[in-house]
Amino acid sequence: MNGAVCRDVISGYYCDCPAGYAGALCDHVNSECTVNTGCGVNEVCTANQCVCERDRIRGENDICIGVTEVKEYSMTLTVSEVDGQPAVYDPSLMGAEGEEFRQGIEYEIRQIIGNDASLSVALVDVVTRNIFSGSIVVEMALIFRENSSNNSSNINLASVVAATTTDENILRESGTAFTIVWNASAVQDANECEDSAGNDCSPYAQCMNTDGSYECTCLPGYENTGPSGVPPGRNCTDINECSPDPCLNGATCSDGVNGYTCTCADGYSGDDCGTDINECSPDPCLNAATCTDSVNGYTCICVDGFSGDDCGTDINECSSDPCLNGATCSDRVNGYTCTCADGYSGDDCGTDINECSSDPCLNGADCSDGVNGYICICADGYSGDDCGTDINECYPNPCLNNAVCTDSVNGYICICVDGYSGDDCGTDINECSSDPCLNGADCSDGVNGYICICADGYSGDDCGTDINECYPNPCLNNAVCTDSVNGYICICVDGYSGDDCGTDINECSSDPCLNGAACTDSYNGYTCTCADGYSGDDCGTDINECSSDPCLNSAACSDGLNGYTCTCADGYSGDDCGTDINGCSSDPCLNGAGCSDGVNGYICICVDGFSGDDCGTDINECSSDPCLNGAACSDEVNGYTCTCVDGYIGDNCGTDINECSSDPCLNGAACTDEVNGYSCICVDGYSGDDCRTDINECSSDPCLNGAACSDGVNGYTCTCADGYSGDDCGTDEDECIASPCQNGGACSSLANRFLCECSAGYSGDRCQIEPVTCVSGNSCGELKVCNTEEMCECGPDYVENASGQCEVAYSFEVSLTITSLNGGSISFTIALTDVTSSEYIRLAFILRRLLLLQVRILRRLARIIFTSGSVIATFEIGTDEPMSPNDLQQMILSDLGNGNITSGGSSIGVDPDSLVATDVNECLTASDNDCSHNADCVNVEGSYNCTCREGYADRSPDARRPGRVCTGGLSTGTIIALSVGLGVVFLLFIILTCTACVFMQSRANLINKEHYARSPYNVRGHPTHRTRDGGRAFKTDVDRDFAHLYGKYAAPRPIPPFALYGDGTRNWYLSDGRGHMDSPFGSRGPDYHMSPPRGSVARPSHRGSQRPHGYSASPVDRLQPSLNDFEDTLPPYSRRYDPNFEEDDEFHRPYYVSGEAIY
C-alpha cells in the first residue's frame, strides 16, 4: 500500500515502505513530530516522524509492541565486493544515497532466512543498524515475532545461526552481486543490556540479556510499581524499609537501599537499638559505691563519706566548718578532727575554757571569762589586771578652776572658788539662768555677772526701752506714719506705693490696652489709643468690614483685621471677584487642537490621531496587537510599524522564512526548518549545528594501555603499544609464553615486560647468573658480601642490575595505603606489627612481590612497617638511578595506574592518592651510612656522600663510593720508619732517666743516714726516730702518736727544711712553705710521701696561716708551713722508707684523676 515496493522472498514477501509509512503492509502513516514531542507510547521522533522505539515493531492497531513479543539478533557482515568491484566504505551509505544498497543487503538476508520455514514465518523485519569501514561492514538487526500463530517452535540463537550459515560467498538474488566474507560469529544475540539506550529497564533494575531479548529485575531494595501490562523492572521504586518502623526505643530510622539504619537514642545500641547499654559495665562507681543502671546513664549509691556522680569525691566534712572558735579542721573519711585554738576544748572546740573558775580577781571585782584568758572588771576605786590597786582619784588633780581636791575611796571632793560649782568645779555659774534681759534680748553669761544684747528697736541695760522709728517722720507724699517694734509703717494716699510711699503707681504696667493699642499712664488711671480696625475703652472690639457685602458673583467674604478677603466662585477672579476667567488663555489644547472657552472651563476639538480632554493622548494603533509571531509594534501618529523577530517577514510579520532553502546541512544531513533557524539531523559520524564536524571518536580515549587512537568517520582505529592487542588494545599479551626465565625462575607477566623471581642463589633479569657460594668471612668481591645462606650478594648500599653487577643504590622511604587484599577488604590488626607473625609475613611478601612486579624502577624493597589507617605500609626502596623524591613518586604512580595489582593468583589494591615518597637522610644516624669516622657525611636525594676530612687520605676500595676508608696523610712506609725511629729515641730516654734516678737515690740515701745519725732535734713533735705499728701510724721513741699532736700528721720526709707535714685533711706541706701536695696517704699507708707529676706547681693549703718563711715562735707553729713561696715545683716521685731507715727500691709516681692521686 501507499506506493510500497513488494519484494518476493522464499516462503513469502515483504513490503519496502516509502518514507513516512510503516507496518507490515506499509499501511501505517508515521505522524509528524518535533524532537521529544508529538509521538505515542513506545514511539520516538526520528527525522520529524514518529517511529517505533528500538526493539519494538508496529503490531495490530498500529501500536508499537515490544520486548515480550519480539526477539532481536545482531548480524554483522563484511561486504568485500559489489558487482565485482571492491567495496569502498562511504558515510552516505547510511543516508538516502545508500538506501538501495541497504535494501539489497536486507533482501539477500531475507532470502537466506526464507530457507527455514519456521523462521521465515516469524521474521518481522531486517533492519540495517549501522555501516562501518573495513571494506564495508554492515551491522543488521534480525527481528522475529516470539510466538507467531504459524510457528510452532521457539526462536533461539542456535536456530538463527543455523539458518544464516551458508557457504555461498556471492549473493545475487536482489539483482546486485554482493561478495560476502562469512564467519562463524556473523550472527550474535543482540545484548540490549550493554548500554541503557538498548533497553528500557529502570535505572534501579538489573538488565539480564536473554536469547533474543532481555529481562529487567528490580535491584534488591526496590520493588516493581509499573502499571498492569508493563513488563516487570521498568518502574522500580525504592522500598521504604523504615515502614513499619523497625527501630526500637525512640530511635530514628534512616531508609537506605535494601536496608535501613537506626540512629539510637542515647543509652541504646544494636542494629535496631533494642539493647539497653549497661553503663554500669565496667563499673564506673568508685570507692565501693553500688552502681544502678538506667537508660543512658547510671546512678552511684555512695558509701558514707563519699559523694559525686561516680562517688569519686571524698566528702569534706570540714566544708561546713564544724570546728568552732577558730579551730583547725582535718578532714577524715566520713568524719573530721578539730584542733582547738588556745582557750577552747571539746570535739568541735565549742567549749570555752573558763579561766575565771579560779576566782583570780580581787577587791570584789567581777571576772569576765575570755578566750584563753579573763578580764577583771574592777569595783570602783580599784585598778590593775586583778583589781588589786586602790586608785588615787586626786592624781592628776580632777578639780578645775583652781579648786582644792580631797581624795576618798573611789572618789574625791572639790572645794570650788567663787563663781564655779559642780563635782569638779568645772561649771561656771550661769547668771543668765534667771532671764534678766527683756524684749527678746540675748543674755551673755560672764564670771559672776551677765551682759544683755538688745534686739533691734530696744535699748537699756536690760533692753526694756522701745525706740520710736517715726521720729522724725520718714513717710512721703502726705502718707501717715505708724510706729512698730524696730520699724514703722507708711499708709499711702491713692496713686502712690512703696515702703515710704515715694513711688507713683503706673497703671499701664499691667498692659490693659488690647490688640496693639498704645497705653498712656495718668494720675491714678490710663488712656488707650486703638490701632486701625479696633474700638472700645481697651480697644477690644474688631470692626467687621464684611458688613457692607463688598464681594461680587456669589463670592464668600472673610472679615480680616482692618479689611476683608473675597473667595471667588470657580471661573471668577479679582479682589472683589468681578472678573470672568478665560480658560483658553493658557492655550491648554495640545497637538493643534482648537479651544472653546466656557464658564470655569474650556472644550478642546482634537485633530485625527489624538484624543483626551486636552488632546494630549496619541491614539495607540498597536493596542489591537496587529503584529504577528512575536514582532514588536511601534506606534506612530495615526498608524504603526512592525519590527519582525528573526525568522519572519511581512508588514505584520506573518511569513515564516525557510532557513533550509539554502541547504545549510552538510555531509548528507537532513534539514528541518525552525523559527529563525533550522536543525540538522546528522548521519552517524558527524556532529555540529550544520553537521560539518567529523565526530572524533578518539576524544573518549577508547584505546587502552597507552595505545594511539586514529579517528575515522563514525569509528576509530587503535595502534597498540607493545605488549597489547585487540580492537581497543585491552588485551595484555603474555610475555611469559616464551619462558624467558632460566634456572627454574618463576615468570610473572606484566604490561610489555616480565619479571623473573629467581631460585635461591640465582640472579640477573632472566635468572641467568649462577650463584657464587662463599664461607662466612670470605671475600665475594669488592662490592658483594656473604649472606647467611653462604651466597654472595650485593652489599647494603648496592643493588643488582640486569647483568648481575652491583650498582650504587639510591634509597627512599615510601608510604601508601593498602585498600584490599586478594579482592577482599583489609583491616589493620596488631599482628601486623609483629614481623614474625604469619599475617605480617604473608602481607609483606605479597606487597613486596607485586610492587616489584608492577613498578619498573624498583630494584629493592625492604624494612616494611604496617600501621593503622586502614593499613598504611611504610618501606624503604632502592633504585639504581638518581632522582628526586617527586620524580620517583610520579614514576611509581604511572606504573600503579588505578592501584589494583594482580599476578600469580595474588592481588592487592592500593590508594594511589595516598602515596608519598621522601628522601632518607642517612647522615642522621651513623648506623645508616658507612662513611669513615674520619669523613664528613652529606645527605643528597636518594643517597649520601662521604668526604674524607682534611689531613686524611681516601683509600676506599670503590671509586664510586669515596670517603669509606680515610687514613692519615702519611704513607705506610713513612709511618713504619717514623715509628721505629721514635721507638729508638724513647728507649735511649728511658735508659738515661733510669741512670740518673739511681744516682740521685744513692745520693739521697747517703744523706739520710747521715741525718739520722745526728742528735735529735730540739723541736717538740719532731722526734728523731720514727716507727710504725701494725696500723702503719708513725710513733715517737716515747710511743707518742703523731695523730694526736694537735691533729697533725708527720711524714717521713728527711732533710729539713723539706720535711712534709699535714693537717687533719691529709693535705701535705713542704716545711719551707712551698705549698701542699694533693696526695691522700690512706691509699698507700702513712709511710709514703707523694707529689704531683714533674712540672706541677705546688698549691697552698687553705688551712695554713701566714708565717715568716719556714719559721714560727712556738714548736706547734713549726708544724704550720709558710704560704709565701708558691712557684717552685715539687719533686716528681715518692719513695717509701722503712722504720729502720732501710730504703725501699720501689719508686712510685702517681697520676691524677679529678684532683686525686692514683697509683
Confidence of residue 1035 (pLDDT cuts 50, 70, 90): very low
The average confidence (pLDDT) of the chain is 79
Q: What is the C-alpha separation between 669 and 688, in angstroms, rounded? A: 11
User: What CATH number corresponds to the domain at position 91?
Assistant: 3.30.70.960
- The radius of gyration computed from the CA coordinates of the chain, to the nearest angstrom, equals 68
Higher-pLDDT residue of 38, 488 = 488
Q: Do 776 and 799 contact (CB within 8 A), yes or no?
A: no
Lowest mean pLDDT among 304-318, 615-629, 693-707, 781-795: 781-795
Is the pLDDT reported for residue 139 higher than 70?
A: yes
pLDDT score for 776: 60
Structural domain includes residue 761:
yes
Which residues, other chains included, contact 8 with Cβ-Cβ below 8 Å and sequence gap of 6+? none
Q: What is the C-alpha separation between 577 and 681, in angstroms, rounded? A: 86
pLDDT score for 1064: 40
How many percent of the chain have pLDDT more than 70?
81
Are 962 and 1027 in a shared domain? no
Which residues, other chains included, contact 999 with Cβ-Cβ below 8 Å and sequence gap of 6+? none
Q: Do 1066 and 1076 contact (CB within 8 A), yes or no?
A: no
Lowest mean pLDDT among 384-388, 466-470, 545-549, 778-782: 778-782
User: What CATH number corresponds to the domain at position 562?
Assistant: 2.10.25
> What is the SS3 assignment for 144?
strand
Are 925 and 1040 in a shared domain? no
> What is the SS3 assignment for 510?
helix
Residue 856, CA distances (Å) to 389, 852, 888, 906 in order = 118, 7, 11, 19
Lowest mean pLDDT among 233-242, 258-267, 731-740: 731-740
Confidence of residue 486 (pLDDT cuts 50, 70, 90): confident
* Beta-bridge partners for 806: 800
Q: What is the C-alpha separation between 180 and 105, in angstroms, rounded? A: 10
Are 331 and 370 in a shared domain? no
Is the pLDDT reported for residue 325 higher than 70?
A: yes
pLDDT score for 324: 92
Per residue in 663-687, pLDDT tens?
A: 999 999 999 988 888 999 999 889 9
When pLDDT is averaged across residues 710-734 and rounded to a whole number, the result is 86
Structural domain includes residue 331:
yes
Per residue in 937-989, pLDDT tens?
A: 999 998 899 999 999 999 988 788 899 899 985 545 555 667 778 888 888 88
Q: Which residue shows C-alpha cell 516470539?
A: 146
Structural domain includes residue 890:
yes
Indicate the angle between helix axes 99-114 and 157-164, nearest 10 degrees: 100
Are 94 and 175 in a shared domain? yes
Are 330 and 459 in a shared domain? no
User: What CATH number corresponds to the domain at position 513?
Assistant: 2.10.25.10
Half-sphere exposure of 614 (CA within 13 A, CB side): 9
Q: Do 918 and 885 contact (CB within 8 A), yes or no?
A: yes
User: Grid coordinates representing 174?
Assistant: 536482489
Is the pLDDT reported for residue 1153 higher than 70?
A: no
* Beta-bridge partners for 415: 404
Are 383 and 436 in a shared domain? no
Lowest mean pLDDT among 245-254, 893-902, 930-939: 893-902
Lowest mean pLDDT among 181-190, 386-395, 643-652: 181-190
User: Grid coordinates representing 360?
Assistant: 583570780
* Beta-bridge partners for 14: 7
pLDDT score for 1093: 39
pLDDT score for 996: 83
pLDDT score for 1134: 38
Structural domain includes residue 774:
yes
Are 361 and 346 in a shared domain? no
Q: Do 14 and 111 contact (CB within 8 A), yes or no?
A: no
Confidence of residue 583 (pLDDT cuts 50, 70, 90): confident
pLDDT score for 12: 59
Structural domain includes residue 736:
yes
Q: What is the C-alpha separation between 797 and 800, in angstroms, rounded? A: 10
Confidence of residue 285 (pLDDT cuts 50, 70, 90): very high
Lowest mean pLDDT among 62-71, 403-412, 447-456, 803-812: 62-71
User: Grid coordinates representing 193?
Assistant: 543490556
Host H or E run for residue 1157:
strand 1156-1158
How many percent of the chain have pLDDT more than 90?
23
Are 379 and 452 in a shared domain? no
Host H or E run for residue 370:
strand 366-370
Instruction: Show the domain range for 511.
Output: 507-522+527-542
When pLDDT is averaged across residues 451-480 and rounded to a whole number, the result is 89
Q: What is the C-alpha separation between 505 and 488, in angstroms, rounded? A: 21
State how many domains the chain has. Answer: 8
DSSP 658: -
Is the pLDDT reported for residue 1033 higher than 70?
A: no
Residue closest to 1092 by CA, chosen among 1117, 1109, 1075, 1071 = 1075
Per residue in 210-227, pLDDT tens?
A: 887 888 999 998 999 888
Is the pLDDT reported for residue 1050 higher than 50?
A: no
Are 943 and 813 in a shared domain? yes
Structural domain includes residue 400:
no
Buried b (16+ CB within 10 A) or exposed e, 539-560: beeeeebbeeeebbbebebeee
Q: Longest Cα pair distance anywhere in the chain, in angstroms?
A: 178
The angle subtended at Cα 473 by Cα 470 and Cα 479, nearest 5°, is 105
Are 533 and 556 in a shared domain? no
Highest mean pLDDT pick, 580-584, 1007-1011, 1072-1076 = 580-584
What's the sign of the alpha-carbon dihedral 846, 849, 850, 855?
positive
Please say which residue of 238, 260, 288 terminates a domain.
Answer: 238
Higher-pLDDT residue of 254, 1143 = 254
Is the pLDDT reported for residue 787 higher than 70?
A: yes
Q: What is the C-alpha separation between 489 and 479, in angstroms, rounded? A: 10
* Beta-bridge partners for 879: 810
Is the pLDDT reported for residue 484 higher than 80?
A: yes
pLDDT score for 1117: 38
Are 333 and 365 in a shared domain? no
Structural domain includes residue 404:
no
Higher-pLDDT residue of 1087, 136 = 136
pLDDT score for 1015: 45
When pLDDT is averaged across residues 497-524 and rounded to a whole number, the result is 88
When pLDDT is averaged across residues 858-880 and rounded to a whole number, the result is 88
Residue type, 503: T
When pLDDT is averaged across residues 1053-1071 and rounded to a whole number, the result is 40
Higher-pLDDT residue of 213, 589 = 589
The angle subtended at Cα 824 by Cα 820 and Cα 830, nearest 5°, is 65
pLDDT score for 65: 67
Residue 844, CA distances (Å) to 839, 874, 903, 909, 1137 in order = 8, 11, 15, 14, 77
DSSP 1065: T
Q: What is the C-alpha separation between 1060 and 1098, in angstroms, rounded? A: 13
* Preceding amide of 472 cis, omega within 30: yes
DSSP 1124: S
When pLDDT is averaged across residues 67-84 and rounded to a whole number, the result is 79
Are 56 and 156 in a shared domain? yes
Higher-pLDDT residue of 376, 33 = 376
Whether this prediction's pTM lies above 0.75 is answered by: no
Structural domain includes residue 809:
yes
Per residue in 353-368, pLDDT tens?
A: 898 988 999 988 999 9
DSSP 494: T
